[in-house]
Amino acid sequence: MPAAQFASYRAPRWLAGAHAQTIGAFLLPRVAVQWRRERVEIGDGDFWLFDWQDAGAPVNAPLVVLFHGLEGGSQSHYARALAVHVATLGWRIVVPHFRGCGGEPNRLPRAYHSADHAEIGAMLRAVRARVDPSTRVYAAGVSLGGSALANWLGREGAQAARTLDAAAAVSTPLDLMASGLAIARGANRVYTWHFLHDLKPKALAMARRFPGLLDARRIARARSMWDFDDAVTAPLHGFAGTRDYWTRGSSKPWLRGIGVPTLVLNATNDPFIPQASLPAARDAGTHVTLQQPATGGHAGFAIGPFPGTHTWLPQRLVSFFRRGA
């Protein structure tokens, strides 16, 4: 799947540059996907929401597990595009929603974060327990989901092969400090506003449900991801603050430990992820394939006239899974 196909992408002049493919992805009509929702009870008293597309597929058909990005889910453009493509192959897909996503609040005072490797491992074990033992299982993570997945892969090393045959991390902020600072600059503040528009009401609702846990005034005043992570993500998940979270939670240091075939795909014009923060070959282990096309934006990778079509990414992932495994 040569990245040269991106040369066909034509955006209007007013939207030229790094933001074209990122914003174009939000403008595309959402293709219809028939999801089957499963509520998965967890041992800690909470639950996950798994959305499956598996109707009519053989019981041992290959399965792609897709971990979504910040405030994403099975309705995200990349999830729908991947679901449509794998269905044409007779494959299956499942989107496990992180806690608080999927359309309803969870029971416990917990959310999700870029270093949530324990949650990734638990979700993958739950998926594996639901499929035939002969099933080839592949995992893909987009943005935050890719960060959490890479954290888990690096920690598991070769043991990950017990659960997965291959993996991919797409548009992943591998260096959280670099990406967190980048999203607060210039035009990127539009994306910050978009994320906080969804995140803050959820956090305020949690503060009301669990008095004394979070400072509602700090949440309401948050104007950046640094502010939000300092007021919500860090205290909820055992970090000392944003600096501690962004430092210890970064997945880049774990790339050397990955022990299953893994594609790490980042566009060098991603507005959220500075090119200088992307890994070089020396930063990754022998099982990691780094691909860094010049264009693609953040989870965009569109081809054709603006806003484009998002067929390239699903095809690239499936091609890697087939070859890598």
Residue 270 bears catalytic tag: yes
pLDDT in tens, 178-210: 999 999 998 889 889 999 999 999 999 999 999
Identified catalytic residue from 68, 270, 277, 287: 270
pLDDT range class, residue 14, cuts 50, 70, 90: very low
Stretch 3-29: mean pLDDT: 56
Peptide bond into 305 cis (omega under 30): no
Identified catalytic residue from 74, 76, 114, 143: 143
- Residue 304: predicted pLDDT: 79
Going from the C-alpha of 133 to that of each of 87, 136, 311, the distances in angstroms are 21, 8, 30
Q: Report d(CA 195, CA 68) in Å as an integer.
A: 14
Q: Which helix (H) or strand (E) holds 206?
A: helix 189-209
| β-strand pairing of 288-291 with 262-265 | parallel
- Residue 306: predicted pLDDT: 72
Domains of the chain: 3-175+251-324 (3.40.50.1820), 176-249 (no CATH)
pLDDT range class, residue 30, cuts 50, 70, 90: low
For residue 138, report the phi and psi dihedrals to the nearest 5 degrees. Answer: -120, 145
Stretch 267-271: mean pLDDT: 94
Find residue 94's DSSP bridge partners: 52, 65
Identified catalytic residue from 19, 77, 97, 298: 298
Q: Report d(CA 325, CA 323) in Å as an integer.
A: 6
Q: Is residue 309 scored above 90 in pLDDT?
A: no
Q: Report d(CA 67, CA 84) in Å as an integer.
A: 16
Lowest mean pLDDT among 95-99, 243-247, 296-300: 296-300
Stretch 303-319: mean pLDDT: 88
pLDDT in tens, 90-137: 999 999 999 999 999 999 999 999 999 999 999 999 999 999 999 999
pTM for the full predicted model: 0.92
pLDDT in tens, 207-234: 999 999 999 999 999 999 999 999 999 9
60: left (phi over 0), alpha (psi -120 to 50) or beta: alpha
pLDDT range class, residue 160, cuts 50, 70, 90: very high
For residue 97, report the phi and psi dihedrals to the nearest 5 degrees. Answer: -85, 135
